[in-house]
């Protein structure tokens, strides 16, 4: 009730049995001081033979206080949210030019470069393998990582196919496979990429980091900064 329009103010005056003796605020806002002044005026002018019931008085006060408290809480959360976004923006800006690990299945191979990443298993696994495929799904290279304990293991693809020939620059699909107790499982993968810029979204949207060759990803999805 921190913001009351003219119609609701008129109704409030009528409910209290008063005329428009108090000057309206220019912004049509009814604050706690106005409410208390109205309440005192109401008590002063009430019919002695029909005084306001105590429960009714208590209800009016509690309702006004509750609504005012909600408005203040909403404002506090809004300010807190703005502060968090500002802090995140400063943190994200420091990422420009840095390498990060993100949970994607695509890596960008530059001329003469390589694709690095991490394979993670939630329990000890054998036959851990990284498979690199081109855009059409054709297998280009398999990297054998053998038996691995629970946790993460790094890998690097040098951009060479199975025959040792360099492949064309571009995007390649990265997929991990492994076995746990003889059963095939799919470990998660994190791909390393360079942060080119940071974007601040509009209302209700978070921050995004723009990765070289891969495009934007949510700032909150960044798993590691290198």
- Domain containing 13: what range? 6-92
pLDDT tens figures, 111-123:
999 999 999 999 9
Based on the fold, state whether residues 105 and 88 are members of the same structural domain: no
Question: What pLDDT is attached to residue 146?
Answer: 94
How many domains are contained in the chain?
2
210 found inside a domain: no
30 found inside a domain: yes
45 found inside a domain: yes
- H/E/C letters for each residue in the chain? CCCCCHHHHHHHHHHCCCCCCCCCCCCCCCCHHHHHHHHHHHHHHCCCCCCCCHHHHHHHHHHHHHHHHHHHHHHHHHHHHHHHHHHHHHHHHCCCCCEEEECCCEEEECCCCCEEEEEEECCCEEEEEEEEECCCCCEEEEEEEEEECCEEEEEEECCECCCCCECCCEEEEEEEEEEECCEEECCEEEEEEEEEEEEECCCCCCEEEEECCCEEEEHHHCCEEC
pLDDT confidence tier of residue 58, bands split at 50, 70 and 90:
low
What value does the mean pLDDT take over residues 44-63?
Answer: 60
226 found inside a domain: no
Based on the fold, state whether residues 80 and 44 are members of the same structural domain: yes
Question: What pLDDT is attached to residue 14?
Answer: 54
200 found inside a domain: no
Based on the fold, state whether residues 69 and 105 are members of the same structural domain: no
């Amino acid at each position: 009730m921190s913001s009351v329009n003219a119609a609701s103010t008129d109704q409030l005056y009528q409910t209290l049995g008063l005329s428009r003796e108090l000057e309206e605020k220019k912004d049509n806002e009814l604050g706690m001081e106005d409410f208390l002044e109205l309440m005192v005026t109401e008590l002063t002018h009430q019919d002695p033979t029909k005084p306001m019931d105590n429960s009714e008085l208590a209800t009016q006060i509690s309702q006004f206080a509750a609504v005012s408290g909600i408005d203040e809480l909403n404002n506090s959360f809004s300010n807190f949210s703005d502060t968090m976004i500002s802090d995140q923006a400063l943190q994200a800006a420091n990422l420009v030019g840095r390498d990060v690990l993100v949970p994607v299945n695509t890596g960008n191979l530059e001329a003469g470069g390589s694709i690095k990443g991490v394979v993670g298993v939630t329990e000890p696994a054998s036959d851990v393998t990284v498979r690199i495929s081109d855009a059409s799904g054709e297998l280009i290279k398999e990297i054998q990582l053998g038996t691995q304990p629970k946790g993460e293991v790094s890998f690097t693809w040098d951009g060479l196919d199975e025959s040792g020939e360099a492949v064309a620059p571009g995007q390649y699909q990265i997929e991990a496979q492994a076995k746990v107790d003889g059963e095939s499982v799919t470990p998660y993968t994190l791909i390393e990429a360079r942060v080119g810029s940071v974007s601040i979204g509009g209302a209700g949207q978070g921050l995004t980091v723009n990765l070289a060759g891969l495009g934007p990803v949510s700032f909150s999805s960044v798993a590691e900064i290198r």
